[in-house]
Amino acid sequence: MAQTLAQKLVARAAGREQVTPGEIVTCKVDLAMVHDSSGPRRLQPRLERLGAKVWDPSKVVVITDHYLPAYDDESRKIIQIARDWVKEAGVSAFYDAQGICHVVLPERGHLRPGMFAVGGDSHSPTGGAFATYMFGIGATEMLGVMVTGEIWLKVPHTIAMDFDGGLSPGVSAKDVMLFLIGRFGMDGGQYQAVEYRGPAIRALSMQERMTLCNMTAELGGQTGLIASDEVTLRYLGKGEIWDGDAGAPLLAHHKFDAGQLAPQVAAPHSPANTRAVGEFHERLDLAYIGACTGAKLDDLRMAASVLKGRKSKIKLLVAPASLRDQQAAEKEGTLGILLDAGAELLANSCGMCAGYGENLLPDAAVAISTTARNFKGRMGSASAQVYLASPYTVAASAIAGRIADPRELLA
Amino acid sequence: MKAWVFGDNVDTDAIAPGRYMKSGIEEIASHCLETVNPEFSKQVKAGDVVVGGRNFGTGSSREQAPEALKHLGVAVLIAESFAGLFYRNAINLGLPAVACAQAKRIRQGDLLQVDFQEGWILDLTTAEKLACESIPGFLMSIIRDGGLLPHLEKRLARTA
């Protein structure tokens, strides 16, 4: 029987030849990633209560990104617990203040095609860009993984999102995801595996593919997957090709012409509240380029291509997703373009996206953001209005002081 | 059991707002769902039921979302459907979550009787019986133990 990529990945982790969608299996975990908020501060007291140790410290990665920069006693304490716990638990893969976990994890070579991984964060499907079966779990379930090295899974069906052709200039992976979430809703993924396919997907860089898989969380899938190919192997410098069998049964197969897609904007207060950019003209107070889904090196380059030689009319905040990406952006001049346009640089952390830290949206603020969620009150005041868009669109909107189509500036 | 009824796509930022995540569960619970219904956290009573529409609990992996509801005394969650990650978290914390296609027939304040093992809800206010999904056996054993942590405790004690 032909198997999808998701089935093949799950079967390997379950020690089986084949698996069938809907059956419950137990999988061995190859890698468990946690951050400071969901990780050590919640794991440590529970492991102590159980008198248990981490099943295999070499398979655990800890990354601090939520409570950075620490700004009060509570946040300092949370970060300190992470620093102490990695020593106590014998975890050597610890990245402290290096950037957002979903970006740092593959950047430091922890993901390979064929792996089965869990993350203590809902955007963990990002790992699927590397043909790793990866999904988010809560802290108690992570405790179960830390103690047993295993996790149960209902073998997912696969929903294929197939994009023919190629994306137009000024249109990016973020637009693809906002479009899909708008079209299918925040539960369109039905907690199954969503697989992105087709020539337009193959043409994307690894960081753009990460944006697709990342926002599978907002599409309601358990994981988002892309078969590995020469782009994957070039990024990793090694690895195998993992792909589904031709003709493997799918729950749904949606086909789109990528060239028809215009830049998309999601209005408050849902990522599913999406329409084409041309339908929006709202005045803005602030533009935010940040988060795992919107401030990687490729995202910063997109913003810079629009902002080059121009000035932002409104407050423009940039929080590069990782320290390495920031350094690369600085070296090649991308960061300089953003700063010349008037951008204010923030730390390489989750920051405003998750409503953590000191920078929060004030009452009645109207903002456009490259982040993943615009739920009411998430980024600050419940009266703030947040529009989601690509780095191109956020940059064009910053210049105009209102929501604007980036294609006019790129032409 | 009194029903507290909410709409579709109730997200984890509404249930457990990010800016209180550094605090203990008491503080988080006091802000639970305040942007949707400011009276909820003050008036909900032990044994009450939270009823959602489609995709209840969408968003973050933060288990403080179901933990806050449990802390407030909520005994059962009913929804037309749950976000998958939230559902796993609720069960792992020992809070039963029951998917019911007809959840929208339940109105605010209705009195309910729920059997999540057999899979039915009796609305005592309207005298209507609604079919719901039953919770699979291996997840029931986690709920019966009070959540995954005590469940693991038992399992480790057996192997010790």
Do residues A22 and A94 make contact, with C-beta atoms less than 8 angstroms apart? no
Tokens of A75: 């946040």
Report the SS3 class of residue A285.
Answer: coil
Give the residue on A whose Cα is nearest the Cα of B20: A356
- Angstrom distance (rounded) from CA A34 to CA A69: 18
SS3 content of chain B, % helix, strand, coil (to 5): 35, 20, 45
Taking an 8 Å cut-off on Cβ atoms, the answer to whether B63 and A270 are in contact is no
A257-271: average pLDDT:
98
The residues of chain B scoring below 50 in pLDDT are: none
pLDDT at B160: 66
The H or E element spanning position B154 is helix B148-159
Residues of A in contact with B19 (CB under 8 A): 355-356, 360, 380
Do residues A66 and A349 make contact, with C-beta atoms less than 8 angstroms apart? yes
pLDDT at A207: 98
E strand spans, A29-185: 31-35, 60-64, 93-96, 116-119, 133-136, 150-154, 158-164
Residues of B in contact with A216 (CB under 8 A): none
Tokens of A369: 């953001």
Q: Which of B8, B33, B55, B58 to mutate to test the interface with A (most CBs of A within 10 A)?
A: B58
Residues of B in contact with A384 (CB under 8 A): none
* CATH assignment of B3-159, among 3.20.19.10, 3.40.50.300, 3.40.50.720, 1.20.58.100: 3.20.19.10
Domain ranges of chain B: 3-159
The reply to whether A264-410 shares the fold of A5-256 is: yes
Q: What CA dihedral angle connects A21, A373, A100 and A34, to 10 degrees?
A: -50
List the one residue out of A224, A218, A221 whose CA is nearest residue A204. A224
Taking an 8 Å cut-off on Cβ atoms, the answer to whether B19 and A75 are in contact is no
> Considering Cα of A44, then A324, then A195, then A387, what sign does the dihedral take?
positive
Class of domain A5-256: alpha beta
pLDDT at B158: 83
Taking an 8 Å cut-off on Cβ atoms, the answer to whether A375 and B54 are in contact is no
Taking an 8 Å cut-off on Cβ atoms, the answer to whether A152 and B35 are in contact is no
**Gap from B127 CA to chain A (nearest CA, Å):** 31
E strand spans, A141-235: 150-154, 158-164, 193-197, 223-225
Give the residue on A whose Cα is nearest the Cα of B94: A140
CB pairs under 8 A between A and B: 121
Taking an 8 Å cut-off on Cβ atoms, the answer to whether B63 and A186 are in contact is no
Taking an 8 Å cut-off on Cβ atoms, the answer to whether A375 and B59 are in contact is yes
Please write the tens of the pLDDT for every residue from A20-43.
Answer: 999 999 999 999 999 999 999 999
Which single residue is written with the structure tokens 């210049």? A399
List the one residue out of A295, A294, A289 whose CA is nearest residue A315. A289
- Angstrom distance (rounded) from CA B53 to CA B9: 7
Residues of B in contact with A191 (CB under 8 A): 83-85
Question: CA B3, B6, B8: angle at the middle one, nearest 5?
Answer: 140
Give the residue on A whose Cα is nearest the Cα of B25: A42
Beta strands A158-164 and A264-266, pairing class: unpaired
Nearest-CB residue to A382 (from B35, B92, B147) = B35
Report the SS3 class of residue A28.
Answer: strand
Nearest-CB residue to B9 (from A51, A119, A186) = A186
**Gap from B133 CA to chain A (nearest CA, Å):** 15
Nearest-CB residue to B54 (from A187, A191, A376) = A187
Q: Give the rounded distance of the alpha carbon of A55 from its chain centre.
A: 27
Taking an 8 Å cut-off on Cβ atoms, the answer to whether B85 and A187 are in contact is no
List the one residue out of A126, A209, A212 whose CA is nearest residue A176. A212
- Angstrom distance (rounded) from CA A303 to CA A410: 11
Q: Which of A375, A383, A388 to mutate to test the interface with B (most CBs of B within 10 A)?
A: A375
Q: What percent of chain A has pLDDT above 70?
A: 100
Beta strands A150-154 and A24-28, pairing class: antiparallel
Residue at A83: amino acid letter: R
pLDDT at A188: 98
Q: Is the pLDDT of residue A144 over 90?
A: yes
Tokens of A164: 């023919």
Topology given in CATH for the domain delimited by A264-410: Aconitase; domain 3 (3.30.499)
Q: Is the pLDDT of residue A170 over 80?
A: yes
Taking an 8 Å cut-off on Cβ atoms, the answer to whether B9 and A191 are in contact is no
pLDDT at A359: 87
Taking an 8 Å cut-off on Cβ atoms, the answer to whether A373 and B148 are in contact is no
Taking an 8 Å cut-off on Cβ atoms, the answer to whether B148 and A147 are in contact is no
- Angstrom distance (rounded) from CA A372 to CA A353: 8
Residues of B in contact with A33 (CB under 8 A): none
Query: Model-level pTM?
Result: 0.97
Taking an 8 Å cut-off on Cβ atoms, the answer to whether B156 and A185 are in contact is no
Please write the tens of the pLDDT for every residue from A342-398.
Answer: 999 999 999 999 888 888 999 999 999 999 999 999 999 999 999 999 999 999 999
**Gap from B9 CA to chain A (nearest CA, Å):** 8
Report the SS3 class of residue A136.
Answer: strand
Angstrom CA distances, B1 to B6, B72, B115, B131, stand at 16, 14, 12, 17
Nearest-CB residue to B92 (from A122, A141, A375) = A141
Domain ranges of chain A: 5-256, 264-410
Taking an 8 Å cut-off on Cβ atoms, the answer to whether A74 and B22 are in contact is yes
